[in-house]
Structure 1
Amino acid sequence: MSHESSSKPMYEQIFEDLLHQIHSGKYEPGERIPSEKELGEIYKVSRITSKKALELLTQEGIIVRQPGRGSFVAEDNSDAGSQSGYLLGTKGRREADKLLIGLVMTDFGDSYGTGLIYGMEEASRTHDAYLVLRRSLGEPAREEEAIKGLLELGVDGLIIFPAQGEYFNAEILKLVIDRYPLVLLDRHLKGISASSISTDNAAAARQLINYLFTLGHSHIALLTTPPQDTTAIEDRIEGFIQAHAESGIVVDRELWIQEIMATLPTAFTPENKLREKERIKRHLQDHPQITAIFALEHNIAQLAYEAASELGMDIPGDISIVCFDSPEYTGGFLFTHMRQRQEEMGRAAFENVLKLKKGEAVPPKVMLEAELITGSSTGRVRS
């Protein structure tokens, strides 16, 4: 394969290689070509990749696939391969085609996600390309379906905001193995050598907790969704612990709630929010020493605010609340929070996918600083 084709998805490279071999006479009409398994071994790719190359050849009328026998060169394929943008011995796609980048993300809203999309959409306009979005709602099955669907659509690269969960999606691993243009957004996946762009969550959490320390708070509750193998959450918890260690303050895990589910995309219902709010109320009543709450995301901070208010507590007089992200343009209550550089993250993710498509190197892990924004939810501890 040529260096020019190295930035293309592997299935396109295999397609073009086989197309060239057929038209150059290596495989005559009626002759069998290598199977999915054989192509996988030749090109060192997964069978799903080699299968897609064969499917493209079939769609173009270049080969005929016979169940149980294999794939054979079509008897009349002289004009094949030129009907859908694939040209023999050239760049593969018509040069007039626009680049198409797929985006798979859990969900988005005012507090987080919309800014990411703004940044990516702006970058797509700058580079005369298009962005196609699918939400996974945090479900691995939906994420897998979205990835497969976008690949079938023929996107030139993917940006993926991985679903929360104990295991990363196997489809992502296949993309990494196949050296497909891929950038992970907001978090990185352990053991996966894929390019990622995120906030420096540990440093941001450390800065936020140190700010609470300056206000005299030392009994701080931590409220989060399940943290297992979700690096953004794990890093924020690590920053929380580091800040305590550096200040010589003991971390009291009895003040934590680590299984808040109501803010996850598939569970964000009035019934679930009411149940979690009651749980936070009981937690505050059982631990009256709490003077501040560190919520790892805005929606959890909102639940904590409502729970404390319904208990008759004044914010920030009786209790302070901090979080990551807080909409500043909705006219609502502004929490003291760490503002992530969402639009910059989105732009960088889109541009890095384009670089990978061209075969250029990009940093494996980019982490951006967040900014501390002081809102109305924090104050000094009452004596």
Structure 2
Amino acid sequence: MSKSVKRVPLYKQIEQYIFDQMRLHDWKAHHKLPSETELASLFDVSRLTVKNALLNLMDKGLVYRIQGKGSYISDMSGEPVLYEASPADNKEKFIALILPLAKTIRSLHLINGIEEELSKHGYHLLLCKTYNSKEKEKQVLQDVLRLNVAGIIIYPVEGVTYSEDILRLTLNPYPLVIVDRYLRGIETNCVFSANSRGAYEAISHLIQLGHTKVGFVSTESKDTSSIEDRLAGYEQALADFKLPVEHRMRRTQFQLDQVNLMISEGRIDDSVKSEIQSFIKQNPDMTAIFAVNSALGLSVIETASDMGIRVPEDLSVCFFDDYEFSTFSRIAPTCVLQQEHLVGQEAVKLILSFIENPDQERRRVEIPTKLVIRKSTAPMGVHAP
């Protein structure tokens, strides 16, 4: 087990190969990289692994992509290249996808779903990232509008629910679809997961295992509908099973950037760890915890282990979202799966429908989730006294 942890991941090997070629062969700005198929053949890996490597390089500002043409070395100014000029008659066939980051397996599934559905209708994907920054989101929106794209699919920065730019486009009306969440009280085209139902099923699973003291941990919601709905599902499940909603068993002020270190760097932030330790110590009767995302859920499992608390024998843990190779983990997690590929496909169908008929009523499309039961949850009876 220790050897596999130390082995350099395949996508990292691909990144290093590109770095080496830039250094040894003087690949400069706008040099075209080998295709995904060529890289997959060279390293004997799947195209998904290659795509993950290229997206990581894009995230670092070293590579940019033109859908249908390939990936290229960025200029070294550090500014991502959104799009190289194309003939005017092709511009209207581009749909921009704006999302915070593109590192997780969730993001890859979303991108693939969008890309595949667009290609069926002769459209191309323009991928842009905001790096979880409200200012960057505003800038990127302005950039893609100047490019005269046919429409925009946006995964908003967390907490920025009522972005003025998004509202302005919605009121125009402009072909815009929001994914992952919706805007409360505002009529917008949205495609999102059944967050409330997914959390409800996860909490019901824990209660049916005998857990009556279930904790809830999340990043700050700041009016982010996806997080608010998961909290609502948690509370509704407790109410339906006639269990009290105890606010002491909630910890909802975790910072997203700190929590995400578990995914981006494979380590838990010290402040996150300290906060989880405090939460567990303050609730000694708590026998299960539900986390709103995989990064926070994994942080709970690691922190509990460091405290000498066994998962699931002493503490059951489940969370929203799966992660790559989760079934090979020491403790395979019970989690709520989102169908990101389907979310992407439905977002494209919705935006193309709106392009054809901009006068139609805006729609919300809710995609079901699926609870996958693995080894991080167990019946109350197996807990040590």
- Do both share a fold (TM > 0.5)? yes
Shift of 1:375: 1.4
Residue 122 of structure 2 corresponds to 128
Letter in 2 for 1:147: L
Structure 2's unaligned 5+ residue stretches are 1-85
Q: Which residue of 2 aligns with 1:357?
A: 355
- Distance in 2, matches of 1:254 and 1:235, equals 19
- Could you say if the C-alpha distance between residues 372 and 125 of structure 1 is closer, same or farther in structure 2, counting changes exceeding 3 Å? same
* Aligned counterparts of 2:303 and 2:268: Cα–Cα separation in 1: 14
Give RMSD over aligned pairs.
2.3
Alignment of 1:167-316 (within 5 A): 167-261=161-255, 262-263=258-259, 273-316=269-312
Give the whole-Å Cα distance in 2 for the aligned partners of 1:195 and 1:147.
17
Distance 1:113 1:129 in 2: 20
2:126 is paired with a residue whose SS is strand
Q: What's the offset of the Cα at 1:97?
A: 5.9
Residues 1:343 and 2:337 are matched in the alignment? no
Q: CA deviation at 1:257?
A: 0.9
Question: What is the CA distance between 1:154 and its match in structure 2?
Answer: 1.6
Letter in 2 for 1:290: M
Post-superposition shift, 1:259? 0.7
Query: What is residue 135 of structure 2 aligned with on the other side?
Result: 141
CA distance in 1, matches of 2:259, 2:270: 11
Q: Is the 8 A contact 1:328 1:334 kept in 2?
A: no
How far off is 1:270 after superposition? 7.9
Q: Post-superposition shift, 1:104?
A: 0.9
Residue deviations 1:258-298 (CA, integer Å, cap 9, x gap): 01111258x97789712201221122122111100100000
Shift of 1:312: 0.9
Report the AA paired with residue 109 of structure 2. Answer: G
SS at structure 2 position matched to 1:123:
helix
In the alignment, is the contact (CA less than 8 A) between 1:224 and 1:295 conserved in 2? yes
Identity %: 27
Counterparts of 2:274 and 2:137, CA distance in 1: 32
Matches within 5 A, 1:157-176: 157-165=151-159, 167-176=161-170
Query: How big is the shift at 1:163?
Result: 1.1
Deviations 1:189-243 (A, max 9, x none): 1232110000111111111100001100111111100012100000000010101
* Deviation, structure 1 residue 341: 0.9
**Structure 1 partner of 2:149:** 155
Aligned AA (1:138): N
Contact 1:188-1:231 within 8 A present in 2 as well: yes
Aligned partners of 2:266, 2:375: CA distance in 1, in Å? 25
> 2:96 matched to which residue of 1?
102
Which ranges in structure 1 are unaligned for 5 or more consecutive residues? 1-83, 86-92
Specify the SS of the correspondent of 2:277.
Answer: helix
Shift of residue 98, structure 1, vs aligned partner: 6.4
Q: Distance in 2 between matches of 1:98 and 1:165?
A: 31
Q: How far off its partner does 1:110 sit?
A: 3.0
Distance 1:337 1:289 in 2: 23
* Aligned residue pair count: 292
Check whether the contact 2:161–2:183 (CA below 8 A) recurs between aligned residues.
no
Amino acid at match of 1:334: A
Alpha-carbon shift at residue 137 of structure 1 (Å): 2.3
Distance in 2, Cα, partners of 1:268 & 1:347: 26
User: In 2, Cα distance between the equivalents of 1:98 and 1:372?
Assistant: 40
Give the partner amino acid of 1:316: P
1:161–1:185 CA contact under 8 A, matched in 2:
yes
Distance (Å, rounded) in 1 between the aligned partners of 2:378 and 2:105: 22
Contact 2:335 2:371 in 1 (8 A): yes
CA contact (8 A) 1:327 1:334 kept: no
Counterpart contact for 1:108–1:114, Cα < 8 Å: yes
Aligned mate of 1:327, from 320, 323, 327: 323
Off by >6 Å, runs of 4+ in structure 1: 267-272
Q: Which amino acid aligns with 1:215?
A: L
Distance in 2 separating the partners of 1:114 and 1:252: 37
Kindly provide the amino acid, as one letter, of the partner of residue 343 in structure 2: M
Answering whether residue 365 of structure 2 is matched by residue 366 of structure 1, we say yes
* Letter of the structure 1 residue corresponding to residue 173 of structure 2: R
Instruction: Give the direction of change, closer, same or farther, for the CA distance of 1:231–1:273 in structure 2 (3 Å limit).
Output: same
Aligned partner of 2:96: which letter? G
Change (3 A) 1:177 1:264: farther
Alignment partners' CA distance in 1, 2:221 and 2:105: 20
Following superposition, the deviation at residue 253 of structure 1 comes to: 1.1
C-alpha offsets along residues 289-322 of structure 1, whole Å, 9 cap, x if unaligned?
1100100000000110110000111110000101
Is 150-159 or 131-140 further displaced after alignment?
A: 131-140
Contact 1:162 1:168 in 2 (8 A): no
Trace 1:40-55 onto structure 2 (pairs within 5 A): none
